[in-house]
Amino acid sequence: MRAQQQSAGLGLREKLAYGLGDFASNLIWATTLTYMVFFYTDIYGIPAASVAGILLFCRIANAVVDPLIGIAIDKRHAHGERARPFLKWGALPLAVTTALVFLPLEGSATFKMLWAAGTFMLLSITYSFVNTAYGMLTNLMTASSAERIQLTSARLIGANVGSVLIGWITLSAVGWLGMGDSRKGFLLFMALIGIIVALSFLLTHHFCRETVRPAVRDEPAARRPGVTRALLANRPWLVLTAIKFLNSTANTLSLGSLTFAAIYEYRFGAAFGGTMIATITASSFLGCWLAPALVRLVGSRASVRATNFTQAVLFLGLALVPAQPAAVIAVLAGIGLMIGMRDPVTYAMLSDTLDYGAARTGVDAMGLGYSIASAAYKVAAGVGGALLAALLARSGYAAGKAVQPDSALLAIRLGLAVLPAALLMASGFATFAYPRDADIERGKAKGIEAA
C-alpha cells in the first residue's frame, strides 16, 4: 500500500485562501437559501407550489451531477493535481449563472417557471463543479486531522463572513441599486456578487496547493472492490452523510422561513429578517473559533451529538419565545453558535471517513465519496426549500399581503422552528451509530502502517 504523502504544515496564507473559497460559496448559498423562495414568490410572481417543485427538482437533478463531477476528479488521479484546476475552469461560468438566476424575464406563467427551473439548474451545476472540487482540497492539502479541523474552521469562518454580509446588506443593497425596483435591484446585486465569487475562487486556486495522495493498495485492480461497493461498505461515511442531510434540511427550512417570520409572524418588518439572518451567521462565526477547543475537550462525535441536541432544544424555544426582538435575537444567537461549533467538525469528519474507507478497502473513492455527500447536502437544501414552499402553498399564504391567515402563520412557525427541531433530534440520535473517534483513527492508521 502506498502511504500518504505528508505536507510540511499549513501556513496562515493557505488557511486564509482556503477560507476565502467558502466565503465565495456562501455569498451564493446563503442568498439562495434565504431569499430564493421570497424572490420567486413575492418578486417574480411564481406560485408557491410551483416554486416547491422547481427547487426540489433542481436539487434532486443536481444529485446526479455531483457524483459525475466527483468521478471526473477521481479520474485525474494520475494527472497531477486533481481538484485545483476545477476552481479555475469554473469561476467565470459560476459568476454568469449567478446573475442569470435573478434575471426576471417576462412571459407567461409557464415561461417563468421554465426560466426559473433552467437557470437555477445551471447555477446548481456550475456551483457543484467548483464547490465539489473546493471541498476535496481538505483531503488533498493535509493528512493531519488537527490541520483539517483548522482548515474546516477557516472554511466555516469564511462561510459565515459571507452569510453575515448577505444577511446584513442584501435587501438594503437591492433597494439602493434598484432605486425602488426590486427586480432590477436583485439582478444588479447578484451580478456584483458573481464577480466577487469568481475572483475569490481564483485566489483560492492560486494560493492553495495539493500535497497529499491517499493511501491505496499496490495490488491488481481486479482484487479491489468497486468504488460504489467500497463506499457502501464505509459505515462511518454513510452515517455522517445522513447526519449532514438531516442538519442541512433543518437549517435550510428554518433559514428560508426567517424573512416570512420577520414580516408576518413577528411583524418586525423585512429588514429585521436580515438582522435575524446576520445574528445566526455572526454567532456561527464565533462557534467556528470554538470548534477546535470543543473537539479537544470531548472529541468529534460527542461534539456533533451535543450541538445537535442543544440546537433542537433552542429551536423549540424559538417556537415558544415571546415576539420581542431581544428574545428572538438571543435564541437565534444560540442556534448560530451551535451551527458554528458543529459544521467545521462534520466537514473534518467527512475527510476522515474517506481516508478510513481508502485504508480499509484499498479503493480511493475520495471524489465520488465527497461528491455524493455534497449532493446529499444540496438535495437536503432543496428538500428544506420545497418543504417551506409546500407549507406556504397548503396554508393559504397570499404572497405580498400584509395580513396572512392563521393557517399561514402556523405554517411559518412550523418551518421556522418545530420541524427543524425534530430533524435535529433525529440527527443527534444518528450519532450513536457513528464509530468512536479512536476507532476512526485506528482505521486510518492501518493504511499507513501497511505501506
How far lies 302's CA from each of 13, 226, 292, in Å?
A: 31, 32, 13
Q: What is the CA radius of gyration of the chain?
A: 21
What is residue 369's predicted lDDT score, i.e. its pLDDT? 85
* 369-417 per-position pLDDT tens digit: 888 888 887 788 778 888 888 888 888 887 777 777 888 888 888 999 9
Amino acid identity at 364: D
Contact 317, 367 (CB under 8 A): no
DSSP string, 72-92: HHHGGGGSS-SSHHHHHHHHH
* 131-181 per-position pLDDT tens digit: 888 988 888 888 777 888 888 888 888 887 888 788 788 988 999 999 989
Q: Is 30 exposed, middle or buried (0-12, 13-18, 19+ CB in 10 A)?
A: buried
Residue that wins the pLDDT comparison between 388 and 103: 103
Task: Answer yes or no: is 2 within a domain.
Answer: no
Name the pTM for this structure: 0.74
Residue that wins the pLDDT comparison between 37 and 23: 23
Task: Answer yes or no: is 40 within a domain.
Answer: yes
* 29-45 per-position pLDDT tens digit: 888 877 888 899 889 99
DSSP string, 108-171: -HHHHHHHHHHHHHHHHHHHHHHHHHHHHHHHHH---HHHHHHHHHHHHHHHHHHHHHHHHHHH
Overall domain count for the chain: 1
* Domain that includes residue 336, residue range: 12-449
pLDDT for residue 75 is more than 90: no
What is residue 183's predicted lDDT score, i.e. its pLDDT? 94
- Of the candidates 320, 347, 345, the one whose C-alpha atom is nearest the C-alpha of residue 331 is 320
Tell me the pLDDT band of 71, cut-offs 50, 70 and 90: confident
Residue that wins the pLDDT comparison between 219 and 326: 326
What is residue 358's predicted lDDT score, i.e. its pLDDT? 82
Tell me the pLDDT band of 88, cut-offs 50, 70 and 90: very high
pLDDT for residue 86 is more than 70: yes
What is residue 451's predicted lDDT score, i.e. its pLDDT? 36
Distance CA(314)–CA(327), nearest Å, equals 12
Tell me the pLDDT band of 449, cut-offs 50, 70 and 90: very low
DSSP reduced 3-state for 262: helix
Task: Answer yes or no: is 3 within a domain.
Answer: no
Helices (H), 299-405: 300-320, 325-361, 366-395
What is residue 79's predicted lDDT score, i.e. its pLDDT? 57
Task: Answer yes or no: is 5 within a domain.
Answer: no
Task: Answer yes or no: is 45 within a domain.
Answer: yes
Contact 434, 243 (CB under 8 A): yes
State the CATH number of the domain containing residue 339.
1.20.1250.20
Distance CA(365)–CA(372), nearest Å, equals 10
How far lies 251's CA from each of 38, 332, 348, 431, in Å?
A: 16, 12, 19, 18
Place of cell 477521481: 74
Task: Answer yes or no: is 17 within a domain.
Answer: yes
- CA–CA–CA angle 4, 10, 15 (5° rounding): 120
Average pLDDT value for residue range 4-24: 81
* 278-319 per-position pLDDT tens digit: 888 789 888 988 998 999 999 999 999 999 999 999 999 998
Average pLDDT value for residue range 329-344: 94
As a 3-state breakdown, the chain gives helix, strand, coil percent values, each rounded to 5, of 80, 0, 15
User: What is the overall mean pLDDT for the chain?
Assistant: 86
Distance CA(188)–CA(190), nearest Å, equals 6
